[in-house]
């Protein structure tokens, strides 16, 4: 993946609600950066939000690399081999 192929995603994560809103900017880094700066300025006083601008090859990759922002039915325990957590 080249820099020109990088997809840009703006994530606004509401910490108390456990919900993420994602805006996809495609390969338009300048638009993504402008939107990021705007929302950061508007939400400066909000300690209950995480606002991040992420670049990746796809939203699926972002959901894996930043999984704490996305609800999933899959738990850490479910990823472990059977019997690992038994005493």
Rounded Cα gap, residues 5 and 77, in angstroms: 35
Rounded Cα gap, residues 30 and 68, in angstroms: 26
Rounded Cα gap, residues 67 and 48, in angstroms: 18
Per-residue CA distances from 16 to 4, 13, 19, 47, 51 (Å): 35, 9, 8, 10, 14
3-class state of residue 69 by DSSP: helix
Q: Helices (DSSP H) in 1-87: which residue ranges?
A: 29-42, 59-65, 76-79
Q: Give the count of beta carbons closer than 10 Å to the beta carbon of residue 54.
A: 18
Q: What is the mean pLDDT of the chain?
A: 87
Domain ranges of the chain: 3-79
Give the pLDDT mean for 26-34.
96
> If pLDDT is split at 50, 70 and 90, which confidence band does 14 have?
very high
* Per-residue pLDDT tens digits for 52-82: 999 999 999 999 999 889 875 555 556 667 7
């Amino acid at each position: 993946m080249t820099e020109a192929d990088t997809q840009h995603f703006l994530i606004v994560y509401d910490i108390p609600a456990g919900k993420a809103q994602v805006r996809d900017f495609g390969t338009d880094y300048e638009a993504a950066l402008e939107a990021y700066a705007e929302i950061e300025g508007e939400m400066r006083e909000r300690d209950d939000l995480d606002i991040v601008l992420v670049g990746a090859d796809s939203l699926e990759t972002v959901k894996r690399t930043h999984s704490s922002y996305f609800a999933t039915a899959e738990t850490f325990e479910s990823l472990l081999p059977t019997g690992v957590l038994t005493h």
